[in-house]
């Protein structure tokens, strides 16, 4: 019914946008287009895509229930917000029911296999869009009309309440007791199952069959953990991304958007923000591993110069689904061999193993090392932590005012807080 498509604009300095397309007419949907140009145009392409995917589900839901494009319904109602704020709950049930509309369906309890965090995010994205419509259209119609003015105020209040309501579902269903990162011991165990077999030593824990796939996946996992790459950044790496340094023998990974108009992967990997463009020095071991992979396992007949490719003809570049599939297999094997790591009765357990788990692990280990290094050179522990956090932001591609570091490195921050508290109890606690 509707799809999200990346289009090129005439402006050469800012020439790409995601838009919501009506499949039947092959034209952009009016109000989402205005929303994109007004609210999303300065956001990263990945954020644009995520927001518009939520609106796609809303438009699909509306079409399935009312057999009419939501834009047309909103226009015909003379921008009356009442037509949609009463449908938010139905939209939630639609998402909960695998995007199938049924007026007679009510789920009496949460389903364990449904990701309510994802559903909540889509509700949040949709309510932001609907509030945009009220602000830009409904209010104008309500000018000098007290009844319509009060109706719009009520619609805004209901939407804000709905947004808060479904945000609570997000919080309630997220497992705050389990960390997103691996401990150093878990990391060692992870390497045990991802280490590739060699001609002299087989690794029975590695579930991937051929040597080429084993080595490629091992290198992917290693780069994710060692450099904190986002999945999109990993998928954008090309042969040109590894560059030598002028004054030393070392090499660096250049993280940037390829601007490749012939990259037909869907969704297409994109740089998240301006700070994501960065240069990361490679260790000598990782440089050698990349060279070995390129010289021995990466197909010489590939048409693409992207670094990570399928090991089977036509040697297509790996996609998000390829990475997700890889980590789903690893997650299953990791849980099978080390079930205690997933057991919520332990305070340091994990929820799942994914590419994003590797980034969280990198953030935790890097912040710990950066803090220990800084505290040896600075008199103040607060100054050392501040310096360590700023270093982590730079290396991780976060903006200077980002609060994400505390979420990504929560395992180390939690451990450090507990260490300080226990030290206080031992040294300054009252004797009973």
Q: Does the pTM of the predicted model rise above 0.75?
A: no
Q: Could you give the percent of the chain with pLDDT greater than 70?
A: 88
pLDDT at 107: 46
Residues 176-182, mean pLDDT to the nearest whole number: 71
Q: CA-CA distances (angstroms) from residue 425 to 228, 336, 364, 432?
A: 35, 39, 25, 12
Whether 109 has a pLDDT exceeding 50, the answer reads no
How much is the mean pLDDT over the chain?
A: 84
Answer whether 222's CB lies under 8 Å from 330's CB.
no
Residues 72-87, mean pLDDT to the nearest whole number: 88
pLDDT at 60: 94
pLDDT at 273: 78
pLDDT at 100: 76
Q: Could you give the percent of the chain with pLDDT greater than 90?
A: 41
DSSP 8-state assignment for residue 275 = G
Q: Could you tell me the pLDDT band of residue 335, with boundaries at 50, 70 and 90?
A: very high
Q: Could you tell me the pLDDT band of residue 102, with boundaries at 50, 70 and 90?
A: low
Whether 177 has a pLDDT exceeding 70, the answer reads no
Whether 103 has a pLDDT exceeding 90, the answer reads no
Residues 188-208, mean pLDDT to the nearest whole number: 95
Domain boundaries, the chain: 2-173, 184-337, 353-428
Question: CB count, 10 Å around CB of 58?
Answer: 26
pLDDT at 259: 72
In 3D space, the residue among 340, 359, 335 whose CA is nearest the CA of residue 205 turns out to be 335
pLDDT at 11: 60
Q: Which helix (H) or strand (E) holds 252?
A: strand 251-255
Residue-wise pLDDT tens digits, 362-412: 988 888 888 888 888 777 878 888 888 888 888 888 877 777 777 666 677
pLDDT at 108: 41
Residue-wise pLDDT tens digits, 259-294: 776 777 877 788 877 888 899 999 999 999 999 999
In 3D space, the residue among 160, 109, 19, 1 whose CA is nearest the CA of residue 65 turns out to be 1
Answer whether 95's CB lies under 8 Å from 114's CB.
no
pLDDT at 265: 80
pLDDT at 32: 95
Residue-wise pLDDT tens digits, 36-61: 999 888 788 888 999 999 999 999 99
pLDDT at 144: 67
pLDDT at 359: 92
Distance CA 70, CA 87 (A): 12
List CB contacts of 377: < 8 A, sequence separation 6 or more: 384
Whether 31 has a pLDDT exceeding 90, the answer reads yes
Q: Could you tell me the pLDDT band of residue 10, with boundaries at 50, 70 and 90?
A: low
Q: Which helix (H) or strand (E) holds 280?
A: strand 278-281
Residues 126-137, mean pLDDT to the nearest whole number: 89
Burial label for 199, CB within 10 Å (0-12, 13-18, 19+), is exposed
pLDDT higher for 90 or 226? 226
Whether 112 has a pLDDT exceeding 70, the answer reads no
pLDDT higher for 170 or 138? 138
CATH 1.20.210.10 fits 184-337, yes or no: no
Answer whether 259's CB lies under 8 Å from 196's CB.
no
pLDDT at 423: 76
Whether 432 has a pLDDT exceeding 70, the answer reads no
pLDDT at 422: 72
Edge-first strand listing for the sheet containing 251-255: 242-244, 251-255, 278-281
pLDDT at 290: 96
pLDDT at 299: 92
């Amino acid at each position: 019914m509707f799809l999200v498509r990346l289009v090129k604009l005439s402006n050469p300095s800012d020439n790409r946008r995601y838009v919501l397309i009506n499949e039947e007419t092959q034209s952009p949907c009016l109000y989402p287009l205005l929303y994109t140009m007004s609210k999303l145009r300065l956001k990263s392409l990945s954020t644009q895509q995520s927001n518009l995917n939520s609106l796609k589900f809303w438009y699909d839901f509306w079409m399935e229930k009312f057999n009419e494009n939501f834009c047309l319904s909103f226009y015909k109602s003379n921008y009356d917000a009442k037509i949609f704020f009463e449908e938010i709950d139905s939209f939630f049930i639609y998402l909960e029911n695998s995007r199938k509309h049924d007026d007679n369906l009510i789920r009496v309890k949460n389903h364990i296999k449904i990701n309510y965090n994802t559903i909540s995010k889509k509700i949040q994205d949709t309510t932001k869009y609907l509030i945009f419509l009220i602000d830009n259209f409904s209010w104008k119609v309500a000018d000098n009309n007290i009844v319509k003015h009060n109706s719009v105020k009520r619609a805004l209040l209901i939407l804000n309440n709905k947004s808060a309501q479904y945000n609570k579902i997000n919080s309630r269903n997220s497992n705050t007791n389990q960390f997103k990162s691996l401990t150093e011991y878990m990391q060692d165990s992870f390497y045990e199952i991802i280490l590739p077999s060699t001609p002299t030593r087989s690794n029975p824990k590695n579930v991937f069959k051929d040597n080429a796939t084993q080595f490629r996946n091992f290198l992917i996992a290693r780069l994710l953990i060692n450099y904190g790459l986002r999945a999109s950044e990993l998928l954008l790496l090309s042969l040109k991304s590894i560059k030598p340094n002028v004054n030393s023998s070392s090499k660096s990974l250049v993280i940037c958007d390829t601007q490749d108009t012939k990259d037909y992967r869907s969704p297409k990997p994109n740089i998240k923000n301006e700070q994501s463009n960065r240069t990361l020095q490679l260790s000598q071991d990782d440089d050698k591993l990349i060279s070995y992979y390129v010289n021995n396992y990466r197909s010489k007949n590939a048409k693409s110069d992207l670094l990570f490719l399928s090991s089977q003809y036509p040697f297509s570049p790996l996609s998000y689904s390829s990475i997700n599939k890889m980590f789903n297999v690893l997650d299953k094997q990791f849980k099978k061999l080390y079930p205690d790591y997933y057991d919520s009765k332990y305070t340091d357990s994990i929820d799942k193993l994914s590419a994003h788990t590797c980034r969280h692990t990198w953030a935790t280990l890097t912040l710990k090392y950066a803090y220990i290094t800084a505290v040896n050179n600075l008199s103040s522990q607060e100054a050392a932590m501040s310096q360590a956090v700023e270093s982590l932001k730079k290396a991780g591609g976060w903006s200077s005012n980002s609060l994400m570091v505390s979420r990504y490195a929560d395992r180390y921050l939690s451990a450090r807080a507990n260490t300080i508290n226990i030290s206080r109890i031992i040294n300054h606690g009252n004797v009973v």
